[in-house]
């Protein structure tokens, strides 16, 4: 079994508990602030890369098109409930190889997934490829380096959830045509905006 299959299996099993783990109030505050900053407009096409159980969906305004992708079918089954009655399409898809045309989306939402995917650099490269210029990638991320305590937390987090909490965004975009325009922190969660350089 390869790494992607292991992650898929883990999150298929976690789907029923996921909302209790990541639906807590501080994550909700961070999401609310993120979507305020994103300023999604009615004619925008929006990609949610790693839609999970659909925790981002209630914060999305009406717009031209919303597409959510996730590797876990069990997660998507739960996301479908939140997407009911909304202009949201959901697809089982690997974020390392997005099946969308280049320069298709106006905004991409990449929340709390860069620490769990096999190759976060490749995921950001693929998301960037599908983004129009100008476009915006909005990220919730927990990847700042913070010494020994953070490293110890990372060992526990990787073992229990497959989540690394020591992947700084600056390293992930080092050789990508992206730069960081916005960064805020709420409840130890970074709200980050990336924009294409070309």
Give yes or no for residue 198 having a pLDDT over 90: no
pLDDT digits (tens, 9 = 90+) for 39-88: 999 999 999 999 999 999 999 999 999 999 999 999 999 999 999 999 99
Virtual CA dihedral for 104, 119, 95, 25, nearest 10 degrees? -100
CATH number of the domain at 3-196, please?
Answer: 3.40.50.150
pLDDT tens-digit profile of 113-168? 998 888 999 999 999 999 999 999 999 997 655 555 445 444 454 554 445 555 78
Higher pLDDT, 149 or 175: 175
Q: Other C-beta atoms within 10 Å of 198: how many?
A: 5
- Name the residue ranges covered by the structural domains of the chain: 3-196
How high is the pLDDT of residue 2?
60
Q: Model pTM?
A: 0.82
**pLDDT in the model for residue 116:** 84
> Within 52-176, where are the H helices?
73-83, 120-129, 147-161, 169-172
**Stretch among 22-31, 38-47, 180-189 having the lowest mean pLDDT:** 22-31
C-alpha span between 116 and 196 (Å, rounded):
23
**What is each CA distance from 47 to 60, 63, 82, 191, in whole angstroms?**
11, 11, 16, 17
């Amino acid at each position: 079994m390869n790494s992607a299959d292991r992650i898929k299996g883990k999150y298929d099993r976690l789907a029923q508990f996921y909302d209790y783990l990541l639906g807590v109030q501080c994550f909700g505050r961070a999401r609310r602030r993120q979507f305020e900053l994103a300023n999604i407009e009615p004619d925008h096409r929006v990609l949610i890369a790693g839609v999970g159980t659909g925790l981002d969906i209630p914060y999305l305004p009406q717009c031209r098109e919303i597409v959510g992708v996730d590797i876990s079918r069990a997660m998507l089954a739960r996301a479908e409930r939140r997407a009911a009655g909304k202009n949201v399409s959901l697809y089982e898809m690997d974020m390392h190889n997005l099946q969308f045309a280049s320069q298709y989306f106006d905004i991409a939402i990449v929340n709390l997934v860069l620490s769990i995917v096999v190759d976060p650099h490749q995921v950001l490269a693929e998301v960037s490829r599908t983004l129009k210029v100008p476009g915006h990638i909005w990220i919730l991320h927990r990847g700042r380096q913070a010494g020994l305590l953070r490293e110890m937390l990372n060992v526990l987090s990787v073992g229990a959830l497959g989540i690394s909490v020591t992947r700084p965004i600056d390293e992930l975009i080092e050789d990508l045509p992206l730069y960081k325009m916005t960064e805020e922190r709420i409840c130890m969660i970074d709200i980050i905006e990336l924009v294409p350089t070309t």
